[in-house]
Amino acid sequence: MQHARYGYSIAVSDPDILPVEDTEDLDLSLLLAHWLKLAAARPPGEIPLRAVACAEIARLLKFTLLCDVVDGGADFRFRIVGVSAFPNFGSLAGKLVSEHPDMGARHRFPILMREVVRTRKPVRGSALRETEHGNFRFESIWLPFGGAQVQQILGLLVPEKPDDHPA
């Protein structure tokens, strides 16, 4: 996985919420498989974040973002943001998702994360990101962590191959 500069969104659309098991992206599949392995070893809904970091997914962590759930999903606060997750936007740690400098992220991330809070299950999203540099489709996976309530959400976004969704 590598990052590129995509620029700021110039238009916003809702993400599609898709079945998590249908992802064909190897990095999203790896992160999901790791979460499923953690979930199978614990009571339902009881996955502490400290269980995440391991050599199996270490190379993906610089692309992930971890958010705390604020007021039951009214907003989300960036706790940890991998150095390559948002290469254009500077440090977002400590900021609310509603304060993200990109209007596309401000709009789409809460939709996907609220679905995680509601279902307490992994959520997969796909969204078109329209920028001044062109249009890019991103696929993402959002994973719940916590106890009886979802307290944190780990997300990973990856650009889809341009030929996957012709214009």
pLDDT of residue 166: 44
Residue 167 pLDDT exceeds 50: no
pLDDT of residue 147: 83
pLDDT average, residue stretch 11-37: 91
pLDDT of residue 67: 94
pLDDT of residue 52: 64
Beta bridge partners of 128: 137
Residue 91 pLDDT exceeds 60: yes
Pairwise pLDDT comparison (16 vs 54), residue with the higher score: 16
According to CATH, the superfamily of the domain at 16-161 is PAS domain (3.30.450.20)
Q: Is 109 exposed, middle or buried, given 0-12, 13-18 or 19+ CB atoms closer than 10 A?
A: buried
CA atoms within 13 A on the CB side of 108: 29
Residue 164 pLDDT exceeds 50: no
46-76: per-residue pLDDT in tens? 666 665 667 788 888 888 999 999 999 999 9
Split at pLDDT 50, 70, 90, the class of 11 is: low
Q: Is 117 exposed, middle or buried, given 0-12, 13-18 or 19+ CB atoms closer than 10 A?
A: buried
Q: Where are the chain's structural domains?
A: 16-161
- DSSP secondary structure of 25-84: -HHHHHHHHHHHHHHHTSSTT-B-GGG---TTTGGGGGGEEEEEEEGGGTEEEEEEE-TT
- Give whichever of 58-62, 113-117, 137-141, 161-165 has the largest mean pLDDT: 113-117
User: Which residues fall within 8 angstroms of residue 96, CB to CB, at 6 or more apart?
Assistant: 70, 75, 76, 77, 78
Q: How many CB atoms lie within 10 A of CB 95?
A: 15
